[in-house]
């Protein structure tokens, strides 16, 4: 089967504190965004990539994509001030003739997604219309409301990752409905949840981390230097 991918790279990377968008940080001499894009470029199931960027970084991104020779596989789209807006812009850019394909939405800052997980996710989304990669929470999670502390039942808790994959019509409807009601979700699946539509979980890998703070860079280089596929 084939799927389209939206890769979100239009953030500012403020928490990374690198003085530039974290997408350009080099991990073993290659920009983070290139590591992420490679996961999809090398997957024969990936039909086309829509790379959502900050318009101020267009020249820099285009130069990189040309350097790797990926101009035909990637379409650049301008993002917005919120991640959700960037995702919506990506959805609107998908060519009408390929909207029957499953669409994945992925963080540019998540460079370690495994091909087997991409395929499993694509198949589950094809069948069930909405799915995400997630891993069981390993920490004990406490909830504090006022003075009251309680412990959530860990067996029911999952840490959400990306990609999140959908049938195009469903995720477009979810984004449009969220926009109308000015609902800002923390991920794309939450917009589908708000429609009361079911979402499947595909058990992912703890290696599929999002690089958010400077400590994550060292972790990422360690994962990259490991011999086995992550």
Contacts with 11 (C-beta within 8 Å, 6 or more apart), sequence order: 21, 22, 23, 54, 79, 83, 86, 108, 109
| 130-136 and 142-145 strand pairing | unpaired
Question: Least Å distance between CB 13 and ligand CTP?
Answer: 4
Residue 185 contact among Mg ion, ligand CTP, none, beta carbon within 5 to 8 Å by kind: none
Question: E-strand spans in 108-191?
Answer: 130-136, 142-145, 148-151, 158-166
Q: What residues between 159 and 218 interact with ligand CTP by CB under 6 A?
A: 210, 212
Nearest in space to 27 (alpha carbons), one of 218, 228, 215, 208: 218
Rounded CA-CA distance 228/24 in Å is: 25
Residue 81 contact among Mg ion, ligand CTP, none, beta carbon within 5 to 8 Å by kind: ligand CTP
The DSSP 8-state label assigned to residue 141 in this structure reads: P
H or E, element range at 173: helix 168-180
Residue 52 within binding range of ligand CTP, rule CB under 6 A: yes
Question: Least Å distance between CB 203 and Mg ion?
Answer: 26
Residue 35 within binding range of ligand CTP, rule CB under 6 A: no
Residue 64 contact among Mg ion, ligand CTP, none, beta carbon within 5 to 8 Å by kind: none
Q: Which of 34, 77, 79, 204 binds ligand CTP (CB under 6 A)?
A: 79
Residue 109 within binding range of ligand CTP, rule CB under 6 A: yes
Q: Which residue is nearest to ligand CTP (CB)?
A: 11
Of 126 and 224, nearer to ligand CTP (C-beta) is: 224
- 114-133 per-residue burial string, b: 16 or more CB within 10 A, e: under 16: beebbebbbbbbeeebbbbb
Q: For residue 21, what are the CA distances in angstroms to 56, 64, 90?
A: 11, 14, 19
Of 98 and 212, nearer to ligand CTP (C-beta) is: 212
Of 83 and 117, nearer to ligand CTP (C-beta) is: 83
Question: Least Å distance between CB 56 and ligand CTP?
Answer: 12
Q: Which residues bind ligand CTP (CB under 6 A)?
A: 8-15, 22, 52, 79-83, 86, 107-109, 210, 212
């Amino acid at each position: 089967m084939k799927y389209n991918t939206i890769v979100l790279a239009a953030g500012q990377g403020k928490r990374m504190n690198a003085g530039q968008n974290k997408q350009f940080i080099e991990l073993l001499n290659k920009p983070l965004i290139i590591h992420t894009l490679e996961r999809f470029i090398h997957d024969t199931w990936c039909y086309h990539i829509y790379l959502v960027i900050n318009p101020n970084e267009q020249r820099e991104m285009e130069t990189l994509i040309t350097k790797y020779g990926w101009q035909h596989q990637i379409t650049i789209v301008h993002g917005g001030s919120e991640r959700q807006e960037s995702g919506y812009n990506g959805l609107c850019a998908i060519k009408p003739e390929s909207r029957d394909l499953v669409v994945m939405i992925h963080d540019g800052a998540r460079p370690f997604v495994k091909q087997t997980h991409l395929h499993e996710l694509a198949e589950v989304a094809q069948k069930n219309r909405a799915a995400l990669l997630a891993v069981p929470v390993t920490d004990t999670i406490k909830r504090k409301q006022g003075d009251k502390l309680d412990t959530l039942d860990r067996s029911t808790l999952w840490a959400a990752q990306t990609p999140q994959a959908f049938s195009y019509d469903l995720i477009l409807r979810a984004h449009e409905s969220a926009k109308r009601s000015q609902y800002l979700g923390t991920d794309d699946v939450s917009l589908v949840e708000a429609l009361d539509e079911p979402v499947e979980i595909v058990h992912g890998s703890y290696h599929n981390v999002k690089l958010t703070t400077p400590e994550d860079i060292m972790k990422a280089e360690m994962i990259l230097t490991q011999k086995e596929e992550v």
